[in-house]
Structure formats: structure tokens, C-alpha cells
Amino acid sequence: MAVPANEQKEGPRNLHIWRTGQSYTLQKGALYRKEWTNLYFSLLPQPADLDERIIRHYDVRKPLPLADNSFDGAYAMHVIEHLDPNEGLAFVKELYRVVKPRGICRLSTPDLEDIIRNYFSRLKIGWADPSDKNICNYRWAQFEIFDQLTRRKSGGEMIDAIKAGDYHEDYLKERYGDVYQEFIPQKEREISAQIRSQLAAEGGPARRKRTFLEKLKGKFSQKAYQYRLRKALREHNEDPRRTLESNKWMHDRLSMKFLMEQAGFTDYRVKTYKDSDLQNWDRYRLDMSNFGDHAIEPSLYVEAKKP
């Protein structure tokens, strides 16, 4: 089933592909659900209660279910690190295919250059002053490099450190922006509750009362989804390397330049969480926190143009 481009009568048509957490959904979900065409990178089945016309769960290692030259712009947020180099190139070529000539493609990913700089800084600080806090932050600097590349269980070493209280919140906030809250169980539950409330508020007042047959159908849909979900998890053995929770690669500004130019894009530029050449970006600012002048999740942001 092909995904229709968003049906805005005015303004740009934009494609949004992402794989990220709840802080992003809470802050930007209402906007991208309404005004962007959305593919969520997932190997798990489409949730029974989620309309494919709004968000479609899709394995982007396959050709995108979209027509050539469909979009004025495309943004793939934290997708490329979950693909190996060959998969990443094939994916960016697909973005090139679906973007119109002179359209902009934006990608974001953890910044290997910044991660390595932070590691050397934490190493130097910890060596000079091996206090408990400095050593704890040093270990987290190691996690940033290795954990998502090597983890064999969901959450990896990071989740074990959180459960043991082996972290400092100021460090997590500095390195992970608003996303750090998702690491803390109590705050993660609060975010989940806020998202459920937001979704209910969006659909609740306008939603008509469902008939008995519709409710019955919904129950069967949920059961079918739960069956497909359990089957998918069994097939992947809940291994983060197979469910694509783990990162497969890490990128810096130079590797991203090579990648985008190899796919055919030109006029490559490094951007920030605030600025973009995508049309009407000041309206969207998908990377900027709703709670201050900082990134939702500090990252490397790059853009290029289709000739």
C-alpha cells in the first residue's frame, strides 16, 4: 500500500522518517502528524489503533512506498545510525528518488566527532581527579561510544547503570537534552501519560460514539496486533541487534558528506538544531525543544539539495 503525501493545499509537502523516543513525540507529534507524511522506522507490525494515513510503521531498508519526486523536502531523524553503510546508502538514494528537484534532504544522527571529543575530555578529567562523579561520567562517555553498538539486551549497559543509580542527571541532560528524561523510570512514565493525554485530547472531542460492532472489531484488531507483535519479537528473539534498537554505524560530518554526495545530493551543509533550508522550518523546528533554546536530542544535523 503506497503512502499518500500529506494533503496540504498550500505550502510544501514534506516527508518525515524517524526512529526516536517519547520526548520527541510529546513535543512535536501534534505538528508532524497533521502536516507531514510520516514513516516510522520499525520492524514490528503496525499498531492496531494507529491509522496508516497518519503514521505508517515501515522497514526503511526496503524501497520507500512513495512515488518519485513527491516531496519538497525530507527529514530522516536518527535513522541512518541503525543502518549499516550499504543499507544507509540505499536509504539515502531512496530519499533522493522521492524528493523533487531542488528539494532539500535533512538527516540527523549521533555526532561521532562530538562523542569522541567528550570521551577524551572525560578521560582527562577523570585521570586528573578520579572522584566518584568524574569516573561515573567517564563511564557514560564510554557508553556513548560502545553501548548501542554492542548491546545484547534492550537498554544495554545504560539501563543497568540507571537501575543501579550509577549516573548524574546533570551529565545526562547535557549529553542527551530532553531525551535524558526517558532514561529515568518515573519521568518516562510521566511522559507516557502526557502523550496518552495529548492523543486523547486531539481525537476525543471530535470522535463520535462507537457502535457495538465497531468496538467488537476493535477488540479483534487489538488481538491480531498482539499476536503479530509476539510473533515478530519471537522471530527477532528480542535481540536489539536484530530489532534494530542497536546502532549499526556511527557518523561524523565528513562521512555524512560522502554518503549524501554518493546518493546524488549536492550543496552539502552542516546545520544546527535551529536552522534548516527546508521550507517553513521556523514553523516546525522539529529538533528544537519546546522548553528552551536547546536541542531535544543533541545531534549532528546535515542537509543537501537534489539538483
Instruction: Dump pLDDT digits (tens) for 227-243.
Output: 455 655 555 566 777 77
What residue spans define the domains of the chain?
14-110+247-305, 113-167
Confidence bin at 245 (pLDDT 50/70/90): confident
pTM of the predicted model as reported, rounded to 2 decimal places:
0.86
pLDDT, tens digit, 9 for 90 and up, residues 25-70: 999 999 999 999 999 998 877 877 778 889 999 999 999 999 999 9
Dihedral of the alpha carbons of 112, 249, 183, 190, in degrees to the nearest 10: 110
* Residue 212: predicted pLDDT: 47
How much is the average pLDDT of 81-109? 98
For residue 120, give every residue at least 6 positions away whose Cβ sits within 8 Å of its Cβ, in sequence order, or none.
none
Which cell goes with 297?
536530542
Using CA atoms, how far apart are residues 106 and 270, in angstroms rounded to an integer? 10
Using CA atoms, how far apart are residues 14 and 77, in angstroms rounded to an integer? 13
Q: Report percent pLDDT > 70 for the chain.
A: 83
User: What is the secondary structure of the chain as a DSSP string?
Assistant: -PPPPP--SSS--EEEEE---HHHHHHHHHHHHHHSEEEEE-SSPPPTTS-TTT-EEE-TTSPPSS-TT-EEEEEEES-GGGS-HHHHHHHHHHHHHHEEEEEEEEEEE-BHHHHHHHHHHHHHHHHH---HHHHHHHHHHHHHHHHHHH-SSTTHHHHHHHHTT---HHHHHHHHGGGGGGGSHHHHHHHHHHHHHHHHHHHTTTPPPPPHHHHHHHHHHHHHHHHHHHHHHHHHTT-HHHHT-S-S--B-HHHHHHHHHHHT-EEEEEE-SS--SSTTHHHH-TTB-TTSSSBSS--EEEEEE--
Superfamily of domain 14-110+247-305: Vaccinia Virus protein VP39 (3.40.50.150)
Q: Report percent pLDDT > 90 for the chain.
A: 66
pLDDT, tens digit, 9 for 90 and up, residues 198-229: 767 666 444 445 554 444 445 545 565 554 55
C-alpha distance from residue 280 to each of 12, 16, 193, 231 (Å):
8, 14, 30, 42
Pick from 163, 258, 51: which is nearest to 249 by CA? Answer: 258
